[in-house]
């Protein structure tokens, strides 16, 4: 039961707060040229009136809270960047100001919306509307702030999909990234997790060692790997016994390199990822392995021990236990990691930028994210970059849905 | 899981596989640390140097002794009026070494060391070179080059040189700093990297950005999750649908429109740009909603009968009970914000607004081949997270594990 509250200032402080925040929002809208400038002035006059009235009331009733609110109101009005955040408070305060006594249902509605509004507002402003805006941008012709951009229909998509070899290069690299890293990563992680799940000594030490790369920033990690891969002084060259070999800047695909001595010539996508890109994939595997191990370990610990005991009684070998108990019961976890790996592949950026800032020799390490960054922020072609983003969105959506449909039938959930 | 590993071979295999893997996982870290302590010449050797000179305690003593002469035993220096004496043990008196204080090239050393008097004399078994700072200025570093005739076969300088090169009929011994002090000697690269770019500011920016994102984001996510899990309000279905829809939007789609919005707002190079777009987190809402759904209904009914408003229920009941979820969310958000490169790269182009990753990325380009400084900068950039991990290992691992469970 909500008891009636007595407010010395009536509802005016709340009203004032709400008005200040609304004012901020209107400033935001004016800045974005969504509203004409004079709206702002109008509301400013209204706010000044409200402020005056609140001040008079504050002086009459309770000086300090009134003054405090006045200061907050003024402060808010002049710092509109926070308006997006404070909008829910304003809306809530306004609501509270007009309806001070609420029934149970009204309370639920009020608090429900007040509590979800900040997140929903932010999601709307920074995610939902921008994605629609990206869709709109992709239909424009060379939008880059300067000059007039006109509606171009599907021109960007047409160029992207039919006349842009670099886009297909980046797509191909992303496909190779998924094909190479996702299965290998999950297999390696499962192996390590199964071993770590046994009673091994120094389990904590091992887990820490496997896990540390994941929390290490990719920027720093990529710098070290770049140093290890360095053509002149790199550790790897010493390890392979071939100092001075500039093998990282070989633009041919590894399949093409491997099959060339046999006289087989492979080209384009079928030549496989370049040596440099394989190097980046190895680094990415290293980075993510710890995360995968921890997630799989958690999955393993969710498998009831009775299954293994029963299997042992039936005389199942270690391998059979892994094959018929661990693997199927782990499939939801594996599925989760595969989906994550798929989406992650489209975001591979940091390590590529650090290790091959220009996308490598002949763009052989170009990834989708780097290509998007190049088009948008180096070439200032925002509409073309938006088209890339929309295509990526579509591809991820289709792949996830297909993956869900195909794999869900095979994924065994616990009975 | 209980498996019988009766054979010793199986156990051996388990440890062998785990150890090989662990070495492979840890090696880049070792290499980063080792290189960060190497002199430029050591770093650029094809034959890997496993233990750099700067890690050998015998050299620390000499560094401290020389540092104390120049300024302090810990951080060295070359203060006004001080004299630093370097000995090179040669055993016999041969040709007199030629000594100079170079005007150091490159960004990582103090260029001026003028007003120095250099005296060279032979005493029993060693050449003694003393540098007197006759100016009224103090210097942080005292770089020195000694040309020592090749007739000395078994020479041994008091402080190992940072580089030895062949220069005609002489060995060219180079020190970046002859009076380093113990810490100044070991952490030379760290000190130079730190002073080469405003890393302090970068750290502040990163911590401020990530910290605000975690704290405000936590509150917002908890509020939303609580309302979605515990309050029956009209329009809940629409909100839930909206959040589910957001889940499908990949990060790339947002980069350009958000950048345009930010630049129209004049938010480029502000903390707002780094923080505000990522405050609402669908991941956090999902995670915490799951937590709040799992809490028993009776708890909240009782609170309700006692007259607690929804806000009180959230703050006094739900928040304290969902600490594990909050920690998980906090760790993920902090890691994400601290380690992010792409977003800071887009929304900041002034060094004073760089985050640590952005600063490091620029530094990697600028430091070029100074791998010691590069690795030092990389090391201290990952240090806060690694230290945090060692302090809150359990929470980290559980948090990560929780992320993969439906």
Q: What is the pLDDT of residues B40-87, one digit of tens each?
A: 888 888 788 888 989 888 899 999 999 999 888 888 888 888 889 999
Task: Output the six-digit token pair for B229.
Answer: 């899990």
The ipTM assigned to this model is 0.88
Assess whether B144 and B250 both reside in one domain: no
Assess whether B180 and B203 both reside in one domain: no
Tens digits of residue pLDDT in A270-316: 888 888 899 999 999 999 999 999 999 988 988 888 888 899 888 88
What confidence score (pLDDT) does residue A66 get? 46
Assess whether B246 and B173 both reside in one domain: no
Assess whether B145 and B275 both reside in one domain: no
Tens digits of residue pLDDT in A183-238: 999 999 999 998 888 877 888 888 889 999 999 999 999 999 988 888 777 888 88
Most A CBs within 10 Å: which of B47, B257, B333, as the mutation test of the A interface? Answer: B257
Assess whether A183 and A241 both reside in one domain: yes
Burial zone of A282 (CB within 10 Å; 0-12 exposed, 13-18 middle, 19+ buried): middle
- Please indicate if any CB of chain A lies within 8 Å of the CB of B312: no
**What are the helix (H) ranges across A198-274?**
203-215, 218-228, 235-240, 254-259
First to last CA, chain B: 22
Q: Which residue of B has its CA nearest to A145?
A: B260
Q: How many domains does chain B have?
A: 2
Q: Between residues A381 and A16, which one has the greater pLDDT? A: A381
Domain residue limits at A367:
160-410
Task: Output the six-digit token pair for A355.
Answer: 């290790």
Assess whether A205 and A102 both reside in one domain: no
Cα–Cα nearest to B236, from B224, B249, B253, B218: B224
Assess whether B267 and B291 both reside in one domain: yes
Q: Has residue B272 been placed in a domain?
A: yes
Assess whether A327 and A198 both reside in one domain: yes
Q: Has residue B138 been placed in a domain?
A: yes
Contact at CB, B364 and A354, closer than 8 angstroms = yes
Distances, alpha carbon A275 to alpha carbons A108, A253, A286, in Å:
60, 7, 17
Most confident residue range from A8-17, A69-78, A143-152, A227-236: A227-236
Q: Has residue A65 been placed in a domain?
A: yes
Q: How many domains does chain A have?
A: 2
Assess whether A42 and A184 both reside in one domain: no
- Minimum mean pLDDT range among A138-147, A359-368, A395-404: A138-147
What confidence score (pLDDT) does residue A232 get? 77
Assess whether B174 and B310 both reside in one domain: no
- If you count residue pairs, one on A and one on B, with CB atoms under 8 Å apart, how many are there? 332
Share of chain A above pLDDT 90, in %: 29
Cα–Cα nearest to A154, from A172, A136, A168: A136
Assess whether A320 and A207 both reside in one domain: yes
Q: Between residues A192 and A118, which one has the greater pLDDT? A: A192
Task: Output the six-digit token pair for A286.
Answer: 């290293």
Q: Is residue A84 pLDDT above 60, yes or no?
A: no
Q: Which residue of A has its CA nearest to B224?
A: A116
CATH of the domain at B253: 1.10.3720.10
Assess whether B210 and B356 both reside in one domain: yes
Which residue among A119, A142, A172 closes a domain? A119
What confidence score (pLDDT) does residue B353 get? 93
Q: Has residue B388 been placed in a domain?
A: no
Contact at CB, A219 and B31, closer than 8 angstroms = no
Q: Has residue A3 been placed in a domain?
A: no
Closest approach of B148 to chain A, Cα-based (Å):
27
Assess whether A299 and A401 both reside in one domain: yes
Residues of A in contact with B345 (CB under 8 A): 353, 373, 377
What confidence score (pLDDT) does residue A410 get? 62
- Please indicate if any CB of chain B lies within 8 Å of the CB of A134: yes
What confidence score (pLDDT) does residue A88 get? 59
Assess whether B172 and B251 both reside in one domain: no
Assess whether A196 and A88 both reside in one domain: no
Say how far residue B286 (Cα) sits from the centre of its chain.
Answer: 32
Closest approach of A398 to chain B, Cα-based (Å):
11
Which residue among A119, A141, A172 closes a domain? A119
What confidence score (pLDDT) does residue A243 get? 61
Enumerate residue ranges in chain B where pLDDT < 70.
1-6, 104-115, 404-406
Domain residue limits at B124:
54-184
Assess whether B154 and B264 both reside in one domain: no
Grade residue A50 by pLDDT with cuts at 50, 70 and 90. low
For range A156-165, the mean pLDDT: 92
Most A CBs within 10 Å: which of B4, B18, B207, B374, as the mutation test of the A interface? Answer: B18
- Please indicate if any CB of chain A lies within 8 Å of the CB of B212: no
Q: Give the nearest partner residue to A390 out of B253, B381, B403, using CB atoms.
A: B253
Assess whether A107 and A186 both reside in one domain: no
Q: Has residue A182 been placed in a domain?
A: yes
Q: Is residue A75 pLDDT above 60, yes or no?
A: no
Cα–Cα nearest to A175, from A348, A293, A53: A348
Burial B287-313, CB ≥16 within 10 A → b, else e: bbbbbbeebeeeebeebeeeebebeeb
Burial zone of A93 (CB within 10 Å; 0-12 exposed, 13-18 middle, 19+ buried): buried
Q: A24: which residues sit within 8 A by CB, 6+ positions away?
A: A76, A77, A79, A80, A82, A83, A86, A87, A90
What confidence score (pLDDT) does residue A62 get? 47
Q: Has residue B171 been placed in a domain?
A: yes
Q: Is residue A98 pLDDT above 80, yes or no?
A: no
Are the C-beta atoms of B383 and B393 separated by less than 8 Å?
A: no
Q: Has residue A185 been placed in a domain?
A: yes
Q: Which residue of B has its CA nearest to A235?
A: B48
**What are the helix (H) ranges across A217-356?**
218-228, 235-240, 254-259, 275-301, 305-313, 318-321, 327-329, 331-345, 350-355
Tens digits of residue pLDDT in B276-297: 889 888 989 998 998 899 888 8
Helix, strand, coil abundance in chain A, percent, nearest 5: 75, 0, 25
């Amino acid at each position: 039961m909500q008891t009636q509250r007595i407010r010395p200032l009536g509802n005016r402080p709340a009203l004032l707060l709400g008005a200040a925040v609304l004012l901020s929002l209107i400033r935001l809208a004016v800045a974005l040229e969504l509203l004409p400038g004079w709206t702002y002035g109008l509301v400013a006059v209204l706010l000044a009136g409200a402020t005056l009235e609140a001040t008079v009331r504050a002086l009459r009733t309770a000086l300090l809270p009134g003054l405090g609110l006045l200061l907050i109101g003024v402060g808010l009005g002049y710092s509109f960047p926070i308006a997006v955040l404070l909008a829910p408070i304003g809306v809530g305060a306004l609501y509270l100001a007009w309806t001070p006594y609420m029934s149970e249902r009204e309370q639920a509605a009020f608090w429900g919306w007040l509590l979800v509004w900040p997140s929903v507002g932010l999601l709307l402003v920074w995610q939902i509307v921008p994605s629609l805006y990206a869709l709109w941008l992709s239909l424009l012709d060379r939008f880059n702030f300067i000059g007039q951009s006109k509606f171009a229909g599907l021109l960007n998509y047409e160029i992207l999909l039919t006349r842009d070899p670099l886009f297909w290069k980046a797509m191909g690299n992303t496909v190779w990234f998924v094909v190479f890293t996702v299965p290998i990563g999950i297999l390696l992680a499962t192996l390590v997790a199964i071993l770590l799940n046994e009673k091994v000594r120094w389990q904590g030490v091992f887990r820490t060692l496997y896990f540390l790369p994941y929390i290490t920033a990719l920027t720093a990690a990529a710098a070290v790997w770049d140093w290890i891969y360095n053509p002149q002084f790199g550790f790897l060259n010493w390890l392979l016994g071939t100092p001075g070999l500039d093998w990282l800047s070989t633009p041919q695909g590894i399949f093409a390199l491997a099959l060339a001595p046999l006289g087989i010539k492979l080209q384009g996508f079928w030549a496989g990822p370049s040596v440099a890109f394989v190097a980046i994939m190895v680094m990415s595997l290293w980075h993510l392995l710890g995360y995968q191990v921890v997630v799989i370990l958690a999955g393993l610990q969710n498998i009831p021990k009775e299954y293994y005991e029963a299997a042992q009684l039936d005389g199942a070998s270690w391998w059979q236990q892994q094959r018929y108990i661990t693997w199927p019961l782990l499939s939801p976890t594996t599925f989760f990691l595969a989906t994550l790996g798929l989406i992650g592949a489209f975001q591979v950026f940091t390590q590529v930028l650090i290790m091959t800032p220009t996308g490598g020799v002949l763009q052989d390490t170009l990834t989708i994210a780097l290509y998007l960054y190049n088009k948008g922020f180096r070439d200032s072609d925002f509409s073309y970059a938006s088209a890339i983003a929309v295509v990526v969105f579509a591809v991820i959506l289709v792949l996830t849905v297909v993956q869900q449909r195909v794999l869900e039938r095979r994924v065994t959930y616990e009975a | 899981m209980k498996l019988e590993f009766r054979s010793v071979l199986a156990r051996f295999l388990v440890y062998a596989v785990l150890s090989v893997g662990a070495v492979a996982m840890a090696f880049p870290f070792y290499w980063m640390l080792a290189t960060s302590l190497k002199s430029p010449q050591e770093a650029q050797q094809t034959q890997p140097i496993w233990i750099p000179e700067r890690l050998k305690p015998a050299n620390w003593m000499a560094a401290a002794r020389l540092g104390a002469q120049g300024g302090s035993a810990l951080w060295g220096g070359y203060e006004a009026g001080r004299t630093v004496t370097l000995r090179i043990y040669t055993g016999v008196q041969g040709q007199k070494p030629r000594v100079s204080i170079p005007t150091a090239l490159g960004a990582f050393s103090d260029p001026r060391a003028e007003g120095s008097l250099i005296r060279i004399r032979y005493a029993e078994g060693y050449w003694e070179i003393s540098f007197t700072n006759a100016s009224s200025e103090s210097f942080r570093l005292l770089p020195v080059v000694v040309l020592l005739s090749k007739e000395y076969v078994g020479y041994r300088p008091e402080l190992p040189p940072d580089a030895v090169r062949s220069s005609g009929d002489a060995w060219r011994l180079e020190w970046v700093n002859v009076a380093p002090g113990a810490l100044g000697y070991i952490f030379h690269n760290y000190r130079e990297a730190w002073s080469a770019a405003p890393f302090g500011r970068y750290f502040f920016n990163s911590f401020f950005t990530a910290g605000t994102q975690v704290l405000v984001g936590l509150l917002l996510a908890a509020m939303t999750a609580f309302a979605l899990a515990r309050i029956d309000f009209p329009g809940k279905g629409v909100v839930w649908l909206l959040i589910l829809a957001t889940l499908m939007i990949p990060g790339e789609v947002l980069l350009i429109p958000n950048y345009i919005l930010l630049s129209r707002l004049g938010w480029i190079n502000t903390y707002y740009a780094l923080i505000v777009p990522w405050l609402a987190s669908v991941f956090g809402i999902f995670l915490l909603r799951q937590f709040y759904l799992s809490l028993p209904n009776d708890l909240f009914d009782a609170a309700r009968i006692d007259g607690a408003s929804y806000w009180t229920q959230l703050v006094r009941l739900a928040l304290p009970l969902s600490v594990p979820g909050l920690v998980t969310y906090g760790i993920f958000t902090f890691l994400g914000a601290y380690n992010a490169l792409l977003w800071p790269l887009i929304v900041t182009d002034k060094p004073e607004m760089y985050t640590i990753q952005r600063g490091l990325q620029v530094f990697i380009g600028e430091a070029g081949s100074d791998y010691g400084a590069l690795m030092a900068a990389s090391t201290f950039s990952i240090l806060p997270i690694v230290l945090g991990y060692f302090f809150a290992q359990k929470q980290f691992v559980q948090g990560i594990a929780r992320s993969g469970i439906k």
